[in-house]
Amino acid sequence: MFKPLAAAYSLSLQHYLQASHGLLADSSFIKKHALKAFKATGIAPIDPEVVLKKFRKSTLTAPPPLVNVSRATITNLINQAYDPSSIAANNLSEILLRLQAAKEIAEYEKDALRAALHVHQKPRNRHEPPLDLQQRKAQLVKEKEKEKELLDKIELKEAKENNRIYQLKIKEAARAAREEAKKVRDEAKAVKAAELDAKRRDRDAAKAIQQP
């Protein structure tokens, strides 16, 4: 006697599960919710400002120029604009610090060239006796040593900056690898949770069908 009733119930339950899978409940599509959605998008009542104001950019005032910019100043400004642990902050910090190092090296070279030019243009005392060949050779050797010392300092500074940038790239690559591994773990957890949820639904549906 209950077999036709159970079959009809199973068929109705199957149709309900197929129709409602992945869809919102009918209770969500009511007049109140529809009117709120229309108002939020400026459809009813018609109000284009609701959407346009989201795309207007506020006028930004230029910040005052910085004086005596240091590495700490650059890091502080970047941390105010970005999350210190973000990739954008690391990239911007690397670019600005590289520019700062290039500026310092250029200033160092400019000062050295200015000093060398000053020595070259320094007027010779008329009463000073001319240098003999041996003295000129000694002076040239001394100037060469100063030039070599200056170049060594510049190369050392560039090497330190390149090493610092290399270390930053290593840290960025390690951070990206950790984020990618975390993303893979999260996706695996989500897939597993979906599989468990699907199995649970199948068990519930099977139990509902088996009940008289």
Q: What is the pLDDT of residue 154?
A: 80
- CB count, 10 Å around CB of 84? 11
The Cα–Cα gap between 61 and 188 comes to 47
Whether the Cβ atoms of residue 131 and residue 139 lie closer than 8 Å to each other: yes
Q: What is the pLDDT of the chain when averaged over all its residues? A: 74
pLDDT class of 65 with cuts at 50, 70, 90: low
Q: What is the pLDDT of residue 106?
A: 77
The Cα–Cα gap between 169 and 161 comes to 12
What is the helix (H) or strand (E) element at residue 201, kind and residue range? helix 133-210
Q: What is the pLDDT of residue 146?
A: 80
Examine the pLDDT at 124 and tell me if it is beyond 60. Answer: no
Based on C-alpha coordinates, what's the Rg of the chain?
37
Query: Which of the pair, 37 or 196, is modelled with greater confidence?
Result: 196
Q: At residue 53, what are phi and psi to the nearest 5 degrees?
A: -65, -20
Examine the pLDDT at 164 and tell me if it is beyond 70. Answer: yes
Phi-psi domain of 22 (left: phi exceeds 0; alpha: psi -120 through 50; beta: other)? left
Whether the Cβ atoms of residue 78 and residue 92 lie closer than 8 Å to each other: yes
Predicted confidence (pLDDT) per residue in 175-187, tens digit: 888 888 888 888 8
Predicted confidence (pLDDT) per residue in 19-57, tens digit: 665 555 555 667 787 788 778 887 777 887 877 787 776
Examine the pLDDT at 130 and tell me if it is beyond 60. Answer: no
Examine the pLDDT at 157 and tell me if it is beyond 60. Answer: yes
State the pTM of this model.
0.29
pLDDT class of 147 with cuts at 50, 70, 90: confident
Whether the Cβ atoms of residue 77 and residue 93 lie closer than 8 Å to each other: no
